[in-house]
Amino acid sequence: MAMKPKREQTAFVREVVLPAGPDRKPVMDARRMLFPLRLGRSRIHGWGLFAVESIPRGRRVIEYTGERIGGREAERRSVRPSVYLFRVGPSRFVDGVRGGSGAECINHSCDPNMTAAITSGRIWLKSLRMIAAGEELTYDYRLSTGVMMPCRCGAANCSRYLSSIR
């Protein structure tokens, strides 16, 4: 009985889908962090970022970096098992899988301790309140995709979905 030859992976699978897979261990870029942070397993979902020391209210914590792409490419990449796309304009996105700082691992919460601010084309995640050492960093994704994705944040005020519609 002849064995079937292994199929070669397409460039799309090799370069786009697999790098965002569930086995992906994120890379931390200390140059983009203004406070010491550590990567760890999250109770919310997959990987998360945690404060190593207390972070005062109103401070920039980490820059969200990655490859800048258009809407058509973002749509193509949204088939991944995990999506790390940050919308910066009507048809402009930053893909944290490629060239990410580690900020792409920050999970959603309906009661977040950070907020995102776009300043001079750069995405900064800033503390909304004092964040204690050891606390997981979170922000409200405010997704507007129309797809009702379940929320796992566990906050008392959880809306049950990662949506901008509350």
Residue boundaries of the structural domains of the chain: 20-64+99-139
What is the model's pLDDT at position 19? 57
Q: What is the CATH number of domain 20-64+99-139?
A: 2.170.270.10
* Average pLDDT, integer, range 55-84: 90
Q: What is the pLDDT of residues 80-127, one digit of tens each?
A: 767 788 888 888 999 988 888 999 999 999 999 999 999 888 999 999
The confidence band for 164, taking pLDDT boundaries of 50, 70 and 90, is: low
Q: What is the pLDDT of residues 16-61, one digit of tens each?
A: 555 555 566 778 899 999 999 999 999 998 889 999 999 999 999 9
40 CB-near residues (< 8 Å, 6+ apart): 47, 48, 49, 50
Rounded CA separation 63/44 (Å): 21
Instruction: State the DSSP code for 3.
Output: P
